[in-house]
Amino acid sequence: MPEPAEREHLRAVATELADRTREAIADLPVDADVVQVGSTARGTWVSGDRDIDLFVRFDANLDREQLEEYGLAVGHAVLPDGHEEYAEHPYVKGTHEGFDVDLVPCHDVETAGDLVSAVDRTPFHDAYLSARLDDDLAGDVVLAKAFLKGIGAYGSDLRTEGFSGYLTELLVLELGGFVPLVESARSWHPPVEFDSEGHAERTFDDPLVVVDPTDPTRNVAAVLSAANLARFQHYARELLAAPSEELFEPADPAPLDPAGVRDHLDRRETTPAAVVFDAPDVVDDQLWPQLRRSLDGIVRGLNGRGFDVLRARAMTDGSDRDPDGDSAKRAALYAELEVAERPAVTRHEGPPVAVRKHAASFYESYADDVDPETYGPFIDGDRYVVEREREFTTVREYLESEAAGDVALGAQVEREFAERDVLVGDAVATLAPAFGVPLREFYEPHP
């Protein structure tokens, strides 16, 4: 829990920033107001969080171009050292007295249904929660967030795919506190749905559905992965069985070193393979979906060619644990294989002999085959079968091939993927220590 002095300091800084924002608005040819939103506004922030979010609300009819222009003008006036970032609109991000400050322009719409952009939604969330979270519940929200951080399931960014702050607050509100929430969660049978306003206007295909009380068409938990929901249920049971402060402390794994990697490989007798490339210079929310799709594609490609994957993971180096650090420099698609080689021949089943036209054309195409690698056609059961030359007999051949290059979905990853390095076997140990943290998590997996 944040200390009183920490809360007081934050409140003073936020008030000062809001005042300066109003002064900057006064210089504009249009009017606007300022709302502080987010957990620091509601006293539901977790100690150590340093975010102050100020929304500048312009008239709902202001056109987008002007909103962006005025919004940036205000932002630069309040945060002269700030820089521009881009969510739905461009906005200014900077630091002030040690806090991270976002100054975000939005439209002042009547209801969430009138949204001009997703950013405009935030003040509605804020108003909904502020009206309902008393001090007790706010304290429980802080606990819930700390717990989710501790177990690694907090954050709705597309890398984590965890619980957003808003989702956490809604769940604490819905269940009536942190303990009732974990008591409920331990017995959930997904799909689980909450709709506090009873106003859902569609169905959702997610394991956890929390209908946004300010928008009947939106599932606040849409980003949450099945794994993070399961993780929450697992640790809810652990917490209730044996309460422990440790569960509220995020794991901070030490990077695995090359010798540590080799030890695991010796014990496991797997063949590791890694495709390593420059991480494209995009934000994590763009990078990670591309990495996951690429990993899925590579795993499918490996399995489909008989290189059976035991377990795989997308990794980035260095900055993984530091949300404010530089974005990753290198990315790796890491797979442990049960099978890294296949024979020169592969079985290829033809049609049943009885299917005369197809059977005849299959038979003729291979009977005339002068390739000495082809065995058959022979008959197995009711079909023609040949054993013909296999396209890729080693995992390296496949990973270096154009076929593997085609699976990297996402334009930015695809470009970098063309210049990939392929490591097979003990050579993957050279990924440590740069990739030491995700390697530690890979080789010492916990729920």
Give residues in contact with a second copy (CB under 8 A). Answer: 186-190, 207, 226-227, 229-231, 233-234, 237, 267-271, 306, 308, 310-311, 336, 338-339, 342-345, 347, 352-356, 359-360, 363, 372-373, 375-384, 387, 393, 443, 445-447
Nearer to a second copy, 22 or 348 (CB): 348
What Å distances lie between residue 247 and 149, 152, 161, 285, 310, CA to CA?
Answer: 9, 10, 19, 27, 29
Best CA proximity match to 1, nearest among 133, 100, 129, 140 = 140
Nearer to a second copy, 379 or 418 (CB): 379
235 is in an annotated binding site: no
Q: How far apart are CA 160 and CA 152, in angstroms?
A: 8
Q: How far apart are CA 437 and CA 435, in angstroms?
A: 6
Please count the other Cβ atoms lying within 10 Å of the Cβ belonging to residue 262.
Answer: 14
Residue 82 zone, left/alpha/beta (φ > 0; ψ -120 to 50; rest):
beta
Question: If you write DSSP's letter for every residue of 95-120 in order, what string do you get?
Answer: EETTEEEEEEEEEE-SSGGG-SSGGG
Nearer to a second copy, 97 or 349 (CB): 349
| Least distance to a second copy, CB of residue 227, Å | 5
39 is in an annotated binding site: yes
Q: Spell out the residues 6+ positions from residue 9 whose beta carbon is closer than 8 angstroms to its own.
A: none
Nearer to a second copy, 282 or 345 (CB): 345
125 is in an annotated binding site: yes
Element (H, E) at 89: none
234 is in an annotated binding site: no
Helix axes 436-443, 258-268, angle to 10 degrees: 30
126 is in an annotated binding site: no
| Least distance to a second copy, CB of residue 25, Å | 48
Best CA proximity match to 430, nearest among 304, 258, 219, 288 = 258
| Least distance to a second copy, CB of residue 369, Å | 14
| Least distance to a second copy, CB of residue 230, Å | 4
Residue 442 zone, left/alpha/beta (φ > 0; ψ -120 to 50; rest):
alpha
Q: How far apart are CA 286 and CA 277, in angstroms?
A: 16
Nearer to a second copy, 102 or 161 (CB): 161
145 is in an annotated binding site: yes
Question: If you write DSSP's letter for every residue of 142-163 in order, what string do you get?
Answer: HHHHHHHHHTT-B--STTT--B
Nearer to a second copy, 115 or 302 (CB): 302
Q: Spell out the residues 6+ positions from residue 12 whose beta carbon is closer than 8 angstroms to its own.
A: none
| Least distance to a second copy, CB of residue 204, Å | 16
Nearer to a second copy, 257 or 441 (CB): 441
| Least distance to a second copy, CB of residue 318, Å | 24
| Least distance to a second copy, CB of residue 356, Å | 6
Annotated binding site: 39, 42, 51, 53, 102, 125, 145, 154
Annotated binding site for Mg(2+): 51, 53, 102
Annotated binding site for ATP: 39, 42, 125, 145, 154
Annotated binding site for CTP: 39, 42, 125, 145, 154
